[in-house]
């Protein structure tokens, strides 16, 4: 893993990113890029076709906001994968890769705004430095005042507490990715309710907002569970957005 991280770090310095437009020149760096993408996205990259064009459209629109951030560099890869999910891998605090499987683009159909929110959520993970370290994630879990860790400790001892804390960290970081993503998404000009549309689509797919065992067995459900807390949090974001718009007389 250490090797992969340093390898990716060196390589990604040469990749075209959302933040900068350098293009690797040699065939060697092209090959290395393909290897990293296959490793991180678990399938080869797709670089043409309708799905690629769709994702490019979204990237360009979100890029108008993301390009203002010079600290983080993120490469978005469309992966030739049948998995309905998307994930961000942070190689260090500044360099990240987002994998968007072709199946996820299909799943979103012609709803560009919903796909844009999925990508924005992943961008949220790449921008959130706090959730990139163990210390930061613990602080996020503690600030949520989670009872989970206490109850987990009572029911399952140290192991139970650790597991509950892990869940609390994950949920906390998911909400933060929703919030950062929502800001990027709305600042890029997308309809805020497309974020709610994406939530609804995922909820119908998972079929269980309580994140029961069947939902969690699913890849999308295990790392992006659609919990009542997450839905409530999105409602708050939407209401705040409406209040701000009303304040601006929009």
CB atoms < 10 A from the CB of 226, how many? 25
CB of 14 to Zn ion, least distance (A): 27
Task: Give the DSSP letter string of 164-220.
Answer: HHHHHHHHHHHHHHHHHHHHHHHHTT--THHHHHHHHHHHHHH--TT--HHHHHSHH
What stretch of H or E contains 92? none
- Cβ proximity of 142 and 158 under 8 Å: no
Whichever of 7 and 205 has its CB closer to Zn ion, that residue is 205
Whichever of 32 and 184 has its CB closer to Zn ion, that residue is 184
CB of 125 to Zn ion, least distance (A): 5
Whichever of 11 and 107 has its CB closer to Zn ion, that residue is 107
CB of 177 to Zn ion, least distance (A): 5
Indicate the SS3 state at residue 87: strand
Indicate the SS3 state at residue 77: strand
Q: How many residues bind Zn ion (CB under 5 A)?
A: 2
CB of 175 to Zn ion, least distance (A): 9
| Positions 96 through 125 that interact with Zn ion (CB under 5 A) | none
CB of 155 to Zn ion, least distance (A): 27
What is the total residue count of the chain?
250
Select the residue whose beta carbon is closest to Zn ion and give its number.
Answer: 177
* Strand ranges across the sheet with 95-101: 73-79, 95-101, 87-90
Whichever of 120 and 161 has its CB closer to Zn ion, that residue is 120
Whichever of 11 and 123 has its CB closer to Zn ion, that residue is 123
What's the Cα-to-Cα distance from 94 to each of 49, 69, 103, 126, rounded to whole Å?
A: 30, 11, 28, 8
Whichever of 113 and 225 has its CB closer to Zn ion, that residue is 225
CB of 132 to Zn ion, least distance (A): 13
Site string for Zn ion, 175-214 (x = CB under 5 A): --x-------------------------------------
| Positions 156 through 175 that interact with Zn ion (CB under 5 A) | 174
Residues binding Zn ion (CB under 5 A): 174, 177
């Amino acid at each position: 893993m250490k090797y992969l991280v340093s390898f990716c770090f060196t390589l990604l310095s040469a990749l075209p990113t959302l933040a900068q437009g350098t293009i690797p020149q040699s065939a060697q760096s092209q090959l290395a890029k393909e290897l990293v993408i296959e490793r991180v996205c678990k399938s080869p990259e797709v670089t043409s076709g309708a799905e690629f064009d769709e994702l490019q459209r979204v990237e360009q629109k979100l890029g108008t906001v993301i390009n203002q951030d010079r600290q983080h560099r993120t490469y978005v890869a469309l992966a030739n994968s049948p998995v309905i999910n998307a994930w961000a891998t942070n190689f260090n605090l500044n360099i990240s890769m987002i994998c968007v499987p072709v199946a996820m683009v299909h799943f979103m159909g012609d709803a560009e705004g919903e796909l844009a929110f999925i990508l924005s959520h992943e961008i949220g993970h790449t921008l959130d430095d706090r959730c990139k370290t163990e210390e930061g994630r613990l602080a996020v879990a503690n600030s949520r005042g989670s009872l989970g860790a206490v109850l987990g400790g009572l029911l399952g001892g140290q192991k139970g507490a650790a597991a509950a804390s892990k869940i609390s960290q994950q949920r906390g970081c998911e909400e933060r990715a929703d919030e950062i993503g929502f800001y990027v998404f709305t600042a890029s000009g997308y309809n805020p309710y497309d974020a709610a549309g994406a939530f609804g689509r995922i909820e119908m797919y998972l079929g269980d907002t309580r994140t029961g065992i069947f939902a969690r067995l699913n890849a999308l459900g295990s790392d992006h569970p659609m919990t009542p807390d997450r839905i409530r949090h999105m409602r708050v974001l939407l209401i705040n957005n409406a209040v701000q718009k009303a304040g601006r007389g929009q």
